[in-house]
Amino acid sequence: MVNQAPSVPATQTVTLTVNGTAVELQLAPWTSLLDALREYMQLTGTKKGCDHGQCGACTVLVNGKRINSCLTLAIMQEGNSITTIEGLAQPEGLLPIQQAFIDHDAFQCGYCTPGQICSAVGLMNEGHAKTTDDIRELMSGNICRCGAYTNIVDAIQAVMHPQPDKL
């Protein structure tokens, strides 16, 4: 008698709540949240850099906390509130952190920028960063190949501490 591996459904229904809207998707159970967003919902603002949890380009917010969307399965996020870069801006305009990235030239090619901004929102939600060094340390999971780090920290500082030279 031949032992057979248990059959796995090719796809299954997964309901994700993204930027306030619940969407039903047919996904293979091993689909990452990153691939679900980009390939099945066309939310391509979230970037794929390393696909291994090392660059932060794929950062999104889940229930207000930042996570690497390449490191979680979409099916694990059912019932959670997912916010991508597309969902951050409000009808009245950009978030202050988005405007600060523009004002402080905090991007060059822009590839890392959605992840940087989502991560910055997560950092501010956490409330642990008190100093410039804290911001640098707590943003260290977001790599910028263009080296815009100084301006990124300046942008975050400008929102968190309107008078950063007093830090």
Q: What is the DSSP letter of 89?
A: S
Where along the sequence are the contacts to ligand FES (CB under 6 A)?
48-51, 53-58, 68, 70, 107-113, 144-146, 148
List residues bridging with 104 in a β-sheet: none
- What is the smallest separation between the CB atom of 37 and ligand FES, expressed in angstroms? 11
- What is the smallest separation between the CB atom of 69 and ligand FES, expressed in angstroms? 7
List the one residue out of 136, 142, 127, 140 whose CA is nearest residue 47. Answer: 142
- What is the smallest separation between the CB atom of 9 and ligand FES, expressed in angstroms? 26
- Per DSSP (E only), the strands in 32-99 are 59-62, 65-68, 81-83
d(CA 58, CA 56): 5
Complex with ligand FES: residue 49 or 122, whichever CB lies closer: 49
Complex with ligand FES: residue 45 or 56, whichever CB lies closer: 56
